[in-house]
Chains A and B, each alone.
Chain A
Amino acid sequence: MNLFLQQIMNGLTLGSIYGLVALGLTLVYGILHIPNFAHGALYMVGAFMSYFLMVDVGVHYWFAMAGSAAIVAVLAIICERLVFHPLRHSPPIHDKIAAIGILLFLEAVVQMFWGADFRRMSSPFTGILNFDGLIIPEQRLLIIIGALTLVAGLQIFLRKTMTGATIIAMAQNREGAFLVGIDANRVAMMTFGISGALAAIAATLYAPINLVYPAMGHLVIMKAFVIIILGGMGSIPGAIVGGMIIGFAEAFGGFYISTAYKDIIAFGLLVVILSIRPQGLFAKGAH
């Protein structure tokens, strides 16, 4: 029984991280129709920024997280202004090529400063909680609570504030949004900023129980794409539920089948779900 609960805990942890990364990816896709392959690189830069702020500057974990979120948000906005904005009238393939360009560029820059080594980033939450045999490391609990808080905060922002509503409006009817006077540039920058901050926070939450290295974004971004395809491109609930599905599948698959195959499970699930529901679980208007 405890082993089973343990896997639920692991599934929730993984699902929270995947969900946060996929959320940023699906926002950018749903609103700007850009499949941002560089999102995984933003995640990786987020981890390195936190590492840098904690180890080299010496700030506390929380400040490192906030600083990294701010830096990556600005970096994402710069990508939008410098790369995606000038391409807005080009065929979609240009966005994809440019995104891969950004991905390679960011990885090369990080590698130049920090090398390709694997690094450890510690967090102050190293304790382990023991609930009658159910072992929960504090960091994992922090991941789950952190993800829940962010998702709730994002929902409140999108549903309850005028600024958030402009983002939703742009996703539901682009021209309608222009006609009420919503500025496309503002929404584009805001969307990229939010997606960057979410990626950086996810990376900072996950890094202490994982490793930090320049290629760390690869598998995460692939899974995030699987998740948003599963959940329905552009769908916010789809990203969260999809993240949980993949997280749980990996946790349980890794435990009951084999850890060697856990990364394949996501893609296997993708094939199964898409053959039943080709439009994804929460398909909606976004193309």
Chain B
Amino acid sequence: MLQLKHIDVSYGSFKALNNISMTVNSGELVVLLGANGAGKTSLFNMISGLVRPTAGECEFEGRRLDGLKPSAVVAAGVVQCAEGRKLFPQMSVAQNLMLGAYVHRRDKQGNRRHLQEMYELFPILEEKKDQPAGSLSGGQQQMVAIGRAMMGRPRLLMLDEPSLGLAPLVVRQMFATISQINRLGTTVLLAEQNAFAALKIAHRAYVMENGQLVMEGDRETMLGNEEVRKAYIGA
């Protein structure tokens, strides 16, 4: 479904991504592990069209994504739920969610139905739908961010460190929800540092270090791998 071939990304003279090749198949939940500064966000932003690759190709459903504008990438079916959430803080929860459906704005009925689905997935958001998104707790804001991304009707949903800064209990619920979204049919690419929790819901994982992919494997292989355990699970 998503295929990256020999992708490089540079910021000025600094090479943030080096020869990245990876695949995400339809229906999968793939985890991208990596420490701070490994290049996870850079990879997502490259796919979303926010930064241009300096080399390589990025294909989605057989179609080139690199070179497209961010709005065209969303329209193509790849939506990112960004690190730090990037909500519209003074707008209401409902407005945030509806803006997520911006590329489908002509299909008003479909959007209302999706909004209802999001409220079923996150009942608390329906309660808070008229409050400014910025006034919600961190966990609730993360729900708005995921809900907003889902309103874009992604076939591939990219989640960048959704557990960042959340309490352990909230993190557990968050991963359960992500797993549920995947089971309902959305392919997920999940960047995380919280390796154990992420691997538990994943089909496959990649490990990124200093802008390069250094390891790849399915859940069992990764959970059983000595280096992964040492570096990311701490056991």
* Interface positions of A (Cβ within 8 A of B): 162, 165-166, 168-169, 172-173, 175-183, 284-285
Does A178 lie within 8 Å of B70, measured CB to CB?
A: yes
Partner of B86, one of A165, A175, A181, A284: A175
The stretch that binds A, out of B22-30, B100-108, B180-188, is B100-108
Once bound together, how far apart are the Cα atoms of A113 and B7, in whole Å? Answer: 56
Does A165 lie within 8 Å of B95, measured CB to CB?
A: yes
Once bound together, how far apart are the Cα atoms of A182 and B89, in whole Å? Answer: 17
Asked, given contacts A165-B95, A175-B50, A176-B82, whether A181 binds B103 with beta carbons under 8 Å apart, the answer is: yes
Asked, given contacts A165-B99, A166-B99, A166-B102, whether A181 binds B75 with beta carbons under 8 Å apart, the answer is: yes
Return chain B residues, CB-CB under 8 Å to A178: 48, 50, 70-71
Does A181 lie within 8 Å of B91, measured CB to CB?
A: no
- CB-nearest residue of chain B to A169: B88
Partner of A172, one of B82, B89, B102, B148: B89
Once bound together, how far apart are the Cα atoms of A165 and B86, in whole Å? Answer: 16
* Best-buried of A172, A176, A181 by chain B (most CB within 10 Å): A181
Return chain B residues, CB-CB under 8 Å to A165: 91, 95, 98-99
Main secondary structure of the interface of A (DSSP, over half): helix
Q: Kindly list 6 other residue pairs between chains A and B, CB separation below 8 angstroms, not including A176-B86, A181-B74.
A: A169-B88, A177-B88, A179-B48, A179-B50, A179-B70, A181-B103
Return chain B residues, CB-CB under 8 Å to A166: 99, 102
* Interface positions of B (Cβ within 8 A of A): 48, 50, 69-71, 73-75, 79-82, 85-91, 95, 98-100, 102-103, 105, 148-149, 152
Once bound together, how far apart are the Cα atoms of A180 and B71, in whole Å? Answer: 7
Once bound together, how far apart are the Cα atoms of A173 and B102, in whole Å? Answer: 15
Main secondary structure of the interface of B (DSSP, over half): mixed
Q: Which 6 A-B pairs have the closest CB atoms?
A: A181-B74, A176-B86, A181-B103, A178-B70, A172-B88, A181-B71
Return chain B residues, CB-CB under 8 Å to A179: 48, 50, 70, 74, 79-82, 86, 149
Does A162 lie within 8 Å of B50, measured CB to CB?
A: no
CB distance from B232 to the nearest CB of A (A): 27
CB distance from B106 to the nearest CB of A (A): 10
CB distance from B133 to the nearest CB of A (A): 9
Does A181 lie within 8 Å of B70, measured CB to CB?
A: yes
Return chain B residues, CB-CB under 8 Å to A180: 74, 79, 99-100, 102-103, 148, 152
Partner of A175, one of B82, B99, B149, B152: B82
Does A176 lie within 8 Å of B70, measured CB to CB?
A: no
Does B98 lie within 8 Å of A176, measured CB to CB?
A: no
Return chain A residues, CB-CB under 8 Å to B80: 179
Does B98 lie within 8 Å of A162, measured CB to CB?
A: yes
* A/B interface sample: 7 pairs, CB < 8 A: A169-B91, A172-B91, A173-B89, A177-B88, A179-B79, A179-B80, A180-B152
Once bound together, how far apart are the Cα atoms of A172 and B134, in whole Å? Answer: 11
CB distance from B189 to the nearest CB of A (A): 14
- CB-nearest residue of chain B to A284: B90
Asked, given contacts A169-B99, A179-B79, A181-B71, whether A162 binds B105 with beta carbons under 8 Å apart, the answer is: yes
CB distance from B160 to the nearest CB of A (A): 10
Return chain B residues, CB-CB under 8 Å to A172: 88-91
